Amino acid sequence: MTTDREALLGSTAELLTRRPAASMDEIAKAAGVSRATLHRYYAGRDALVRALEELALSRLDTALDAVRPEEGDPQDAVRRVIAGTEPLAGFLAFLITENQLFEPGRQHEGWRRIDDRLCALFTRGQESGHFRVDLTAAFLTEALYALITAAAWAVQDGKVAARSATPMTAELLLGGALRRAR
């Protein structure tokens, strides 16, 4: 990917994080290019969103590599994952809600790779006795995505301070995921 495309996608991600329904004209303006230039790179919104998906997956992989979810105490690892993905939260919220990304029966391999890493974290936590076993690792992974997304929206709407979103997300997820003594 050329630097021009990376810059264009970066500015697009920033805009769509704040304004998911922005038009192609608004996206071009925010990127500092003409609509014709934007269309030269991406034929339409669907192609642009798919390129954003690639960018997000790359950034998610980098964030997960940095926080090493396969290492250490599972609860601490979940907190690291939430903190490490916090800068991407708004971007993820946009992508998760874009239905055109999700074609029935098809999922981008990159999402499967991310899901597998997070499921492995929750499975490890279940096997070590930290997390509840009546909730599947796949469900806990989806709950993590949902809470990160909800936190991004709450910050964007001014309902939660940005500095509070990560600890609140972690404590809500972990409070519901922890195994309770009977």
Confidence of residue 9 (pLDDT cuts 50, 70, 90): confident
Question: Is the pLDDT confidence value at 26 over 90?
Answer: yes
Buried b (16+ CB within 10 A) or exposed e, 136-163: ebeebbebbbebbbbbbebbbeeebeee
Residue-wise pLDDT for 34-69, tens only, equals 999 999 999 988 899 889 888 888 999 999 999 999
Question: Is the pLDDT confidence value at 85 over 70?
Answer: yes
Residue-range domain boundaries for the chain = 1-43, 54-177
The whole-number average pLDDT for the span 128-140 is 95
pTM for the model? 0.84
Architecture of domain 1-43: Orthogonal Bundle (1.10)
Confidence of residue 3 (pLDDT cuts 50, 70, 90): low
The whole-number average pLDDT for the span 92-96 is 78
Q: What is the mean pLDDT of the chain?
A: 88
Three-class SS state of 174: helix
CATH node for 54-177: 1.10.357.10
Dihedrals φ, ψ of 121, to 5°?
-60, -50
CA distance 91 to 17: 5
Question: Is the pLDDT confidence value at 113 over 50?
Answer: yes
Q: What is the DSSP letter of 179?
A: P
Angstrom distances, CA of residue 46 to CA of 25, 39, 43, 58, 99:
15, 11, 8, 19, 10
Confidence of residue 179 (pLDDT cuts 50, 70, 90): low
Domains 1-43 and 54-177 share a fold: no
Instruction: Give the residue among 151, 180, 177, 182 at the shortest CA–CA distance from 74.
Output: 177
Tokens 């303006």 belong to 29
